[in-house]
Amino acid sequence: MILQALYSYYQRLSERNDPDIAPEGFAPQAVGFALQLDEQGSLLDVLDLREPASRGNKLLPRRMVVPSLGKARTSGIEPNFLWDGPDYVLGRSVKDNPERTARCRESFCRLHEELLESVEVPETFSLLRFLRSPPAHDPRIEEKWEEMAATNLVFRVGHRYLHDIPALRSVWLTKLRHAENTVTGICLVTGERTVIADLHPLIKGVAGAKSSGAALSAYNQDSFTSFGKKQNFNAPVGKSAAFGYTTALSYLLNRPAQRLRLGAASVVCWAERDTPLESNLLAFLGAWNADQASGPDTASAQERAAVLRRLGKGLPVTEAWPELDPGVHMYVLALKPNAARLSVNFFLQGTAGEFLEHVRSWYRDLAIERRFDDDPDFPSVWQIARAVLGEHKEVEDIQRVGDELIGSILSGRACPAYFLPLCLQRMRAVNVVSSVHAGLIKAMLVRNYAHQEDLMSLNTEHPRPAYHLGRLFALLWGLQRKAIGSGINADIRARYYGSASATPAMVFPLLLRNAQNHIGKAKASGYDMLIRDVLERIDNEFPAHLDLQDQGLFALGYYHQRAARAATPEDSDDTTPVPATQQQ
């Protein structure tokens, strides 16, 4: 299903003549420099084709569509046509293996002599003259050698790159047709009888994979073969289909609006036909690279927030986003590197309306009363992951949590079970329950434990004692602050929150005895009445232990009581939690 969906996407891109989609027999490659030749084959200049990176001052190779072998280059010697690395083009390499470099150069020259000998195009004469008499140590090459040594080179004569000349492209396609294997079969993607690809083109752009690319479908061990069918003949895919699905996937991995990189995972999104959600679905989750993307269908953060607010009011998808066709079928694929291969982390499919409904459901479950004006309305995946793991945790760990969270959100499934203890542990460590922490706990209680009661704001009628224990702890902490002030070195929140939320019977009797002194000292009769009311909800019986679910309710009760300022007399909480950073 994955390969079929990707191949259909390739056909859609080909029909609209997308300039970034390579035709069969060609592929985009990173090219750093062009050798400018004159009509006699002499080197005129070395052109730097590199472009500035989106961040910083680093120069990156330009992506150019060039002839492609259609498979991974092995450790053997196999030249490319009209482009390659300096070891093939110039016979020079930074590696200390002159014998192999000489053979690379020889094979490169032989390939072009064979293919271009009878081609009557003026530029071929220039190229062949250059290959027969290469510059030994041209100063223009020496000047840029350090940058050239690790990148690919192309050729240009006049104002034309040789790999763009139609006659030379035709020569390449003719060679590929004659070189095809003769194994035919039924393609699993198209259902047609065709020539089967022995090796599929490599996919580039997956974070953590080899820079040369990795395979999504490959078999090279006896344990993976059957009936003597080796390589990709075990799962037959036609050469055209193999080229199409790999080209489409590499295209998606280089589209910031449709790609999200999360540590070891790369998530891509596409649709069966044009839809604005295709370039905005991942951005609705607060993807940290989405607002940097640009394109005709990429909405701004304000526009996406407006759609979410309309959805939150209960409007159907067609009214919340009139431009969207909710019936368009969409796909979300997450890949992780696995040595020279790629593993599928998750693959989701559904209509645009269904995916947007999952996003609406997530933010509805996550919604909670905000304590501070700068608390986020729609916390991003990045904010949630950082709130759970901590600001200074390794980025890869934060993104791994985000990866698993995205899979849960877009599928409508329960959150990973370890999120709740991780969140509770983090709150104890930082001594703060932020709106992001509380929102995630609420979402997990709704999704993982099927809680139906109102958890959006303070609920004095909540049926579970653990919730009211959290409220009681918040009141006792506020009372202590009113009686003693905020200058105390270690208040009850710092000293007792962890034990109070796990073993209430051991802590609350002590806290209540001290509370009597605080009430008298602060003359806080309002606190006394609230504490008595909460104690009635608990029946004055403190449980010996609270499980994870009840610890989550404890945290929510604590947060809600602190957020409901009108319900807490003379609330002067000046300990403002630091909002999680929104962007990396």
584 has pLDDT over 50 = no
Using alpha carbons, select from 379, 465, 390 the residue that is nearest to residue 423: 390
Query: Does residue 293 share a domain with residue 329?
Result: yes
Sequence-distant (6+) residues with CB within 8 A of 135 are: 43, 141
Question: E strands, 327-383, where?
Answer: 329-338, 341-351
- Rounded percentage of the chain residues whose pLDDT exceeds 70: 86
Q: Which ranges in 117-188 belong to alpha helices (H)?
A: 122-132, 139-148, 166-179
> Does pLDDT of 295 surpass 80?
no
Cβ atoms of residues 436 and 387 within 8 Å: yes
* Residue 161 confidence (pLDDT): 96
Whether residue 174 is found in the same domain as residue 186: no
> DSSP H helical segments within 450-573, as ranges?
465-484, 492-502, 504-522, 525-538, 548-563
How far lies 442's CA from each of 145, 419, 451, 471, in Å?
Answer: 59, 12, 9, 15
pLDDT at residue 464, rounded to an integer = 93
Specify the higher pLDDT residue, 512 or 176: 512
> What pLDDT score does 181 carry?
62
508 lies in the same domain as 398: yes
User: What are the CA-CA distances from residue 118 to residues 67, 114, 134, 216, 374 (Å)?
Assistant: 19, 8, 21, 39, 71
Kindly state whether residue 84 falls inside one of the protein's structural domains: yes
Hey, which of 4-8, 89-93, 178-182 has the most confident mean pLDDT?
A: 4-8
Residues 57 and 125 placed together within one structural domain of the fold: yes
Q: Give the end of a domain, one of 253, 272, 297.
A: 253
Phi, psi for residue 57 in degrees, rounded to 5: -105, 5
Mean pLDDT, the chain, whole residue set:
84
485 assigned to some structural domain:
yes
Boundary-marking domain end, from 333, 361, 389: 361
Token duo for residue 61: 């190779």
Strand runs (DSSP E) across 136-280, as ranges?
Answer: 152-157, 160-161, 184-186, 193-195, 259-262, 265-271
Cβ burial of 6 (10 Å; 0-12, 13-18, 19+) is buried
What is the per-residue pLDDT for 9? 94
Q: Report residue 385 CA to chain centroid gap.
A: 13
pLDDT in tens, 532-552: 889 988 876 899 999 999 999
Report, as an integer, the average pLDDT of 513-521.
Answer: 78
The last residue of a domain, from among 207, 229, 253: 253
Question: Do residues 366 and 349 lie in contact, with contact meaning Cβ atoms separated by under 8 Å?
Answer: no
153-196 residue pLDDT tens = 999 999 999 999 999 999 998 888 776 667 888 988 898 988 88
d(Cα 515, Cα 561) in Å, to the nearest integer? Answer: 17
Q: How many CB atoms lie within 10 A of CB 183?
A: 14
Q: Does 375 lie in the same domain as 304?
A: no
Per-residue model confidence as pLDDT tens digits over 30-80: 899 999 999 999 999 999 999 988 777 788 899 898 998 766 666 678 899
What three-state secondary structure class fits 314?
A: coil
- Residue 200 burial by Cβ neighbours in a 10 Å radius (0-12, 13-18, 19+): buried
The CA-based angle 324-279-294, given to 5 degrees, is 125
198 vs 2, 248, 256, CA distance in Å? Answer: 19, 19, 31
End-to-end CA distance of the chain: 34
Strand partners, 37: 43, 157
User: Which of 22-36, 158-172, 284-298, 408-422 has the weakest average pLDDT?
Assistant: 284-298
**Strand, coil or helix: 106:** helix
The whole-model pTM stands at 0.78
pLDDT at position 288 is 45
Reported as a pLDDT band with limits 50, 70 and 90, residue 290 is very low
Position 274 in a domain:
yes
Q: Determine the Cα–Cα distance for residues 45 and 156; give it in Å rounded to an integer.
A: 10
Query: Between vectors from CA 36 to CA 35 and to CA 40, what angle results, nearest 5°?
Result: 115
Is the residue at 18 inside a domain?
no
What letter represents residue 486's amino acid? Answer: S
Percent of the chain clearing pLDDT 90 (strictly above):
40
DSSP reduced 3-state for 16: coil
Q: What confidence category does residue 83 fall into, taking pLDDT thresholds of 50, 70 and 90?
A: very high
Q: Answer whether 203's CB lies under 8 Å from 213's CB.
A: yes
Domain check: are 34 and 91 in the same one?
Answer: yes
Q: Is pLDDT of 141 > 70?
A: yes
Q: Does the pLDDT at position 24 exceed 70?
A: yes
pLDDT digits (tens, 9 = 90+) for 223-257: 666 666 666 677 888 888 988 898 999 899 888 88
The more confidently predicted of residues 80 and 289 is 80
pLDDT value for 566: 47
Element of type H or E holding 51: strand 51-52
Specify the DSSP class assigned to residue 225: -
pLDDT of residue 525: 62
From residue 122, give the alpha-carbon distance in Å to each of 67, 127, 166, 211.
19, 9, 13, 35
Structure tokens belonging to residue 11: 């056909």
Rounded to whole angstroms, the Cα distance separating 3 from 237 reads 9
Please determine, for residue 82, whether its predicted confidence score (pLDDT) is greater than 60: yes
The whole domain housing 218 covers: 3-10+181-253
Looking at residue 559, its pLDDT comes to 95
pLDDT tens per residue, range 422-436: 999 999 888 888 999
Task: Report the SS3 class of residue 147.
Answer: helix
- Quick one: pLDDT band at residue 577, thresholds 50, 70, 90? very low
Element (H, E) at 3: helix 2-15
| pLDDT value for 226 | 65
Pairing of strands 83-84, 152-157: antiparallel
Q: How confident is the model at residue 473 (pLDDT cuts 50, 70, 90)?
A: very high
Q: Are residues 540 and 555 in the same domain?
A: yes
Express each pLDDT in 338-367 by its tens digit: 777 888 888 999 999 999 999 999 999 999
Q: Are residues 426 and 557 both part of a single domain? A: yes
Q: Is residue 563 part of a domain?
A: yes
Same domain, 391 and 498: yes
Alpha helices in 216-349 (DSSP H): 239-253, 281-284, 301-312, 317-320
pLDDT of amino acid 576? 36
Location of structure tokens 């997990």: 444
Q: Is residue 16 part of a domain?
A: no
Q: What was the pLDDT predicted at 222?
A: 67
**170 and 273 in a common domain:** no
From residue 98, give the alpha-carbon distance in Å to each of 49, 101, 142, 144, 464: 27, 5, 18, 20, 77
**Residue that is written with structure tokens 């390589």 in the block:** 231
Looking at the fold, whether 397 and 297 belong to one and the same domain comes out as no
Q: Is the pLDDT of residue 500 over 90?
A: yes
The tokens for 314 are 């209960």
274 and 237 within one domain: no
Give bridge partners of residue 83 from the DSSP assignment: 154
Tokens of 466: 């653990």
- Please give the tally of structural domains in the chain: 4
Residue 453 belongs to some domain of the structure: yes
Give SS3 for 190: coil
